Structure 1
């Protein structure tokens, strides 16, 4: 399964608008450089990166960054991925899926009822397991799950 990166957004502050960028540095075990979730209260988190796909945004009539995703993908079914699956972004960066991102009350600020509508479809959370630069237009590939 493969697709491409169509947009990258950084969360630069609590309730601040997402900042759209052309490229970003993924940092192993920390997240995306410049994103406020790189370190959450000094503790590494499973919520380093939020991935979603354009198809989901279109289904709900949303624009890139509306649901606070960091990376928007095209031509890859993000919802078919499972916890532990790995995704290659660009040349070197690899993330590991940690689970679905539950919609928060902010979704209803976008549109009343969106929180319920988008439940289970907001996107997938991931941790960075291999550092690298990711740019809009880069290839995205689902990798074989790791075997313990």
Structure 2
């Protein structure tokens, strides 16, 4: 199956969910044009409070649409943009990609995966019980985070639903994703 963009979303305000759009424009080094999280330095409120000069490693948030199917089986109705992602994908195992993987979205937009999204309690305000569905522990007691990945923009481009995704793995050794 060809990896594909299934939906794109953005929001000019710091709301939990984002509005589904017909297209978004990614800007090198800053993120999604018109999105509240766009910038060279951190824009997520909790991170700004800690260090407003820190680099923004969370310019673009991606979630695999396969997560929505899993959540539906647990009784949750989640649609693209609901969890605050900018890009919803199908056919690419986002959570299994190593740090530094590049994704070409459509013809021109190039992003680099920086790490995992670490969901917070706000997710339970959106739908009670959802946090335990996207954060759990494995047999060894390690946290498993399912709420998508974060990326930075390496090259400008317009992204639309239906655009193909090309996965470009970094040179080995590969490093597993950690929260950013």
Give TM-score scaled by structure 1 length. Answer: 0.90
Question: In structure 2, how many angstroms separate the alpha carbons of the residues matched to 1:16 and 1:105?
Answer: 11
Could you tell me how far apart the structure 2 residues matched to 1:69 and 1:104 are?
14
Whole-angstrom CA distance in 1 between matches of 2:2 and 2:65: 14
- Per the TM alignment, residue 146 of structure 1 is displaced from its structure 2 partner at its CA by 5.0
Deviation at 1:132, TM superposition (A): 1.0
State the 1:24 CA deviation.
Answer: 1.1
Structure 1 window deviating more from structure 2 (14-23 vs 111-120): it is 14-23
Q: How far apart in 1 are the matches of 2:102 and 2:171? A: 8
RMSD between aligned alpha carbons? 2.0
Residues 144 and 89 of structure 1: is their aligned pair in 2 closer, same or farther, counting only changes over 3 Å?
same
> Where do residues 6-85 of structure 1 align in structure 2 (5 Å cutoff)?
6-15=6-15, 17-39=17-39, 40=43, 43=53, 44-61=55-72, 62-85=78-101
Unmatched segments (≥5 aa) in structure 1: none
Tell me, which stretches of 5 or more residues in structure 2 are unaligned? 73-77, 136-144, 173-180
Instruction: Check conservation: 1:85, 1:146, Cα contact below 8 A.
Output: no
How big is each residue's C-alpha offset from its partner over 1:65-115, in whole Å with a ceiling of 9 and x where there is no partner?
111111001111111112111111001111111111011111101222211
- 2:66 aligned counterpart, secondary structure: helix
Aligned residues: 148
Distance, in Å, in 1 between the alignment partners of 2:32 and 2:2 is 21
Partner secondary structure for residue 56 of structure 1: helix
